């Protein structure tokens, strides 16, 4: 508690002058705050994010507590909003940057280049030169062309060999089609690096998100160990970094991955066994969604609605024998089929898949809408009276692919009503476009002490 409070003080100091940040006491739930926001904007309005910097601090604190020997380098790509990045700086994370722009953003804050890793295994030459100019030495590679390119442009770079984690069969988390050197390749790359006189000093892996199998982490750590041994014993490199990548779940109540404490337990066992403090290896990680995902609620308003009645064709029986049969018995059957094809309400919201909900397309998310205050009471009541309606939520653009979710049960909403979505901090604003002229939502900031 004490260290959370002292970290919050640092966050306020870092951000206080530049951002309007509301302080909410513990008893004041986020939903209350949304209700207040809603009641002040009664008509249709632009969607907005509500970011709780207190959650970011608590997630960081949990990381430090559960993985005390792993320094987190926040993966800026997950949410590059300045307040998010500066909160990470205030609590003391390092940074994982994927491009020159991300490097610039972090360096401009005065972050020590030692606390930055340029963790993109395929970089543009100009970006490597930028890293060189600013002394960002740590960078990843996983192929011969990249090794050559880095060596020609920045021979002093500290190279981290990105490994292809072994297939843990049940793990759905496969990044392997794009990045990572397999066992055969690591040997070739280490040999080439030796020949060039390049400075290989670590290995990394990224198991990927949505991983179901804790064994995937154990296997990846064992591979990291064996490649480190190979690099030191066969090629004479001095290894000093093992980077355990990102992919750690945004929230532990999500059903699509194992929990962070479970992952941490498995990792700690491997660290203790393979890379104890006396090994002299520094372990770092690149959490993105873990730090920012849970911190953000997205509030979205209903800008239009209509009712879709079941298509007429569905009321006809599929049995050809019944086609000309007008008996009462068949009328009854038709009516039954009709009832099964429920009426739906189609809602058009102020944000969609070209905006924040690009996570439906790019990040395999299934957003779940929530209603607030009065609507929540109505929802409970209508669930009891089975008056809740099947609904489909569309984004505001003219494209029919712009669907947030289908067939959800919601109380009937009006134009101007608000919905909110939890865990919307990661890979939302980061890739949101202004397609059809709808600009991505603004962000409001709060700090809840927990």
Closer to ligand PLP at the Cβ: 249 or 396?
Answer: 249
443 is annotated as an active-site residue:
no
Site mask for ligand PLP (CB under 6 A), range 95-134, x = bound:
-x----------------------x---------------
CA distance 180 to 162: 5
Q: Are 275 and 225 in contact (CB under 8 A)?
A: yes
Minimum gap (Å) between residue 89 Cβ and ligand PLP: 18
- Which residue among 88, 211, 292, 398 is the active-site one? 398
CA distance 363 to 428: 9
Closer to ligand PLP at the Cβ: 367 or 396?
Answer: 367
By the rule CB under 6 A, 72 interacts with ligand PLP: no
Closer to ligand PLP at the Cβ: 290 or 357?
Answer: 290
> Applying CB under 6 A, what is the total number of residues that bind ligand PLP?
16
Coil, strand, or helix at residue 233?
A: helix
Long-range contacts formed by 313-321: CB under 8 A, 24+ apart = 314/338, 314/341, 315/341
CA distance 293 to 211: 16
Candidates 154, 290, 394, 445: give the one binding ligand PLP (CB under 6 A).
290
| First and final C-alpha spacing in the chain | 9
Site mask for ligand PLP (CB under 6 A), range 388-427, x = bound:
--------------------------------------x-
Query: Residue 314 has which token pair?
Result: 């569905």
CA distance 149 to 60: 35
Nearest to 121 by CA among 220, 203, 63: 203
Site mask for ligand PLP (CB under 6 A), range 166-195, x = bound:
------------------------------
Closer to ligand PLP at the Cβ: 79 or 350?
Answer: 79
- The count of C-alpha atoms lying within 13 angstroms of the C-alpha of 145, restricted to the half-sphere facing its C-beta, is 5
Query: Residue 26 has which token pair?
Result: 């513990």
Closer to ligand PLP at the Cβ: 236 or 261?
Answer: 261
Residues 224-283 that bind ligand PLP (CB under 6 A): 245-248
Residues noted as catalytic: 398
């Amino acid at each position: 508690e004490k260290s959370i409070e002292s970290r919050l003080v640092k966050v306020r100091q870092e951000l206080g002058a530049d951002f309007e940040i509301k302080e909410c006491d513990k008893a004041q739930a986020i939903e209350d705050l949304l209700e207040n926001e809603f009641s002040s904007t009664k008509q249709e309005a632009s969607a907005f994010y509500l970011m709780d910097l207190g959650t970011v601090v608590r997630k960081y604190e949990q990381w430090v507590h559960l993985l005390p020997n792993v320094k987190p380098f926040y993966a800026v790509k997950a949410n590059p909003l300045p307040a998010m990045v500066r909160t990470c700086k205030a609590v003391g994370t390092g940074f994982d940057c994927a491009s020159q722009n991300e490097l610039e953003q972090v360096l401009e804050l005065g972050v020590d280049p030692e606390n930055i890793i340029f963790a993109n295994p395929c970089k543009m030459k100009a970006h490597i030169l930028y890293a060189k100019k600013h002394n960002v030495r740590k960078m990843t590679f996983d192929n011969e062309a990249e090794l050559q390119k880095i060596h020609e442009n920045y021979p002093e770079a500290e190279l981290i060999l990105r490994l292809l984690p072994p297939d843990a069969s049940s793990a759905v988390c496969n990044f392997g089609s794009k990045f990572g050197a397999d066992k055969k390749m690591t040997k070739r790359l280490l040999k080439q690096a030796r020949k060039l006189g390049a400075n290989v000093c670590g290995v990394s892996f990224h198991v990927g998100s949505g991983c179901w199998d804790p064994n995937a982490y154990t296997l990846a750590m064992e591979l990291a160990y064996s490649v480190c041994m190979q690099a030191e014993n066969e090629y004479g490199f001095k290894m000093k970094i093992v980077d355990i990548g990102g992919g750690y779940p945004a929230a532990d109540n999500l059903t699509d991955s194992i929990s962070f404490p479970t992952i941490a337990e498995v990792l700690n066992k491997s660290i203790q066994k393979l890379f104890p403090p006396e090994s002299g290896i520094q372990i770092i990680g690149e959490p993105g969604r873990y730090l920012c995902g849970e911190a953000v609620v997205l509030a979205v308003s209903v800008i239009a609605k209509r009712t879709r009645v079941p298509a007429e064709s569905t009321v006809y029986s599929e049995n050809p024998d019944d086609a000309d049969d007008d008996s009462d018995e068949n009328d009854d059957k038709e009516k039954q089929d009709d009832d099964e094809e429920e009426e739906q309400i189609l809602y058009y919201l102020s944000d969609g898949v070209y905006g924040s909900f690009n996570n439906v397309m790019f990040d395999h998310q299934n957003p779940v809408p929530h209603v607030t205050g009065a609507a929540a009471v109505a929802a409970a009541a209508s669930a009891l009276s089975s008056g809740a309606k099947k609904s489909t939520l569309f984004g505001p653009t003219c494209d029919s692919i712009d669907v947030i979710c289908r067939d959800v049960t919601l109380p009937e909403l009006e134009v101007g009503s608000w919905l909110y979505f939890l865990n919307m901090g990661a890979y939302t604003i980061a890739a949101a476009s202004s397609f059809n002229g709808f600009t991505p939502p603004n962000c409001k900031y709060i700090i809840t002490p927990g």
